[in-house]
Amino acid sequence: MEWIETTGVSVDEAKERALDRLGVAEDDLEYQVLAEPTSAFFGLRRTDARLRARVRPVRPRSKEERRDRGNRRGQKHASDGTGGSRRGGPGGSRRNSNRDTGRGDNTKAESTTSRRSGEPGRSTQQRRDSKGGDSKDRSGRTVTKQTKKRDTSRTDGIDNQKSPAGAGKDGSGRSANQEGTEVKQMDLETQARVTEDFVRGLLEHMGLEARVVSSINEDRALVEAQGLNLGLAIGQRGDTVRAITQLARTMVQRMSDGDAEGSLIVDVGGYRERRRSFLTEFANTQAEEVLADGQSRALEPMNAADRKVVHDAVGEINGVTTQSEGLDMERHVVIDLESDE
């Protein structure tokens, strides 16, 4: 999903505009603040907040797909393992032999040139070591510049990135780093475990006592803090718990280099579920009244996540429809009779 840019008097207003343009809930929004709102000359001149946002990339894969992907990697490595990229492979021996022969011819020419120019004499092997030092790859093979480029791309590609057998061959640790990249493709279990530790430590610093647990449902991980007197971690209308969720997601995205499966939700004291139940019941009641008297109902302004709950709840009822109206902080849901068209 491409990034979009929005502005507003405040960061929250710019974020609401981004939510409306993308048509997603706040939990599914990824954004970066480009500029904070500023004012000067007693508020006579003001600079709006500016941010860039996009739909948070999610590409869940089932266990079967991940298993098939691993099998394909193993098969591909098995087919490549017999090629010239391995130091001890037959193809590699032939290529190294040809390259050494070519280097020998070049060395003779260089030796003759050096003798003509009066350069102090050195053995052929010394010249090969000194002049060919920059032309050796990490495995110690002598290669030409073109071959070095080709082998470097191969080393950085399939053989060392996907094959455990290639680890440690070049002595530079590249294979280990590539394997580390694969590990950073976080599954939901790892995300839940990391987020549990984060929420537990955060609540401790806030002076709150809670039991932090997690559960996984299909492509969604839920980390919940259970306990009493957790209002400080919930905030007004859930503002704080949503902020904690955003912090946890940012941490996971950085640890996984932006490649984390599924979605992650943090709840505190069961607030999200209570809020969802309340809004669903409230929306159903309002929809029934619209059906009874035919008059539309404009609900109070809500954030994008709450509006989505109302839209989903009313969407299950025949004869009524919903739409969002208003701008920025005044954005609200209107429930009306469904048109006959």
Highest mean pLDDT: which range of 13-22, 34-43, 307-316? 307-316
Give 250 or 139, the one with higher predicted confidence.
250
pLDDT of residue 72: 62
User: Per-residue pLDDT averaged across 267-276, rounded?
Assistant: 92
Sheet holding 4-8, edge to edge: 4-8, 49-55, 29-35
Q: Which of 75-79, 247-251, 318-322 has the lowest mean pLDDT?
A: 75-79
pLDDT of residue 65: 63
* Distance, first Cα to last Cα, the chain: 33
Specify the 3-state DSSP secondary structure of 60.
Answer: coil
CB 248 within 8 A of CB 202: no
Give the contacts of 207 (CB within 8 A, at least 6 positions apart). none
Q: Where are the alpha helices (DSSP H) in the chain?
A: 11-22, 63-80, 90-116, 124-131, 145-154, 160-162, 174-183, 188-205, 231-234, 239-255, 271-293, 304-315
pLDDT of residue 3: 86
Backbone phi, psi, residue 5, to 5°: -120, 135
Q: Which residue has the tokens 């401790």?
A: 204
CB 82 within 8 A of CB 89: yes
Highest mean pLDDT: which range of 104-118, 132-146, 160-174, 296-310? 296-310
Report the Cα 333 to chain-centroid distance in Å.
32
Angle at 303 between CA 300 and CA 309, to 5 degrees: 85
CA distance 31 to 250: 10
Highest mean pLDDT: which range of 116-125, 225-234, 252-261? 225-234
CA distance 253 to 256: 5
The tokens for 67 are 């298993």
pLDDT of residue 186: 80
The number of C-alpha atoms within 13 Å of 280 and in the hemisphere containing its C-beta is 9
Give residue-wise pLDDT tens across range 18-76: 888 877 788 788 888 898 887 654 444 567 888 888 887 766 555 666 666 666 655 65
pLDDT band for 319, please (50, 70, 90 cuts): very high
CA distance 337 to 83: 69
Bridge partner list, 55: 29
Q: How far is CA 144 from CA 90, 140, 154, 165, 216, in A?
A: 19, 13, 15, 26, 53
User: Per-residue pLDDT averaged across 164-180, rounded?
Assistant: 42
Give residue-wise pLDDT tens across range 257-266: 888 888 899 9
Cβ–Cβ contacts within 10 Å for residue 2, how many? Answer: 5
Give residue-wise pLDDT tens across range 191-247: 999 999 999 999 999 999 999 999 998 888 999 999 999 999 999 888 899 999 999
Q: Which residue has the tokens 């991980």?
A: 221
Q: Is the pLDDT of residue 99 over 70?
A: no
pLDDT of residue 200: 94
The tokens for 290 are 């619209």
**Superfamily (CATH H level) for 188-269:** K homology (KH) domain (3.30.300.20)
Domain boundaries in the chain? 4-55, 138-183, 188-269, 274-337
The tokens for 19 are 């939510």
pLDDT of residue 73: 58
Confirm or reject CATH 3.30.1370.50 for domain 274-337, answering yes or no: yes
Bridge partner list, 54: 30
Q: Which residue has the tokens 């503002």?
A: 239
pLDDT of residue 303: 85
pLDDT band for 285, please (50, 70, 90 cuts): very high
Beta strands 49-55 and 211-217, pairing class: unpaired
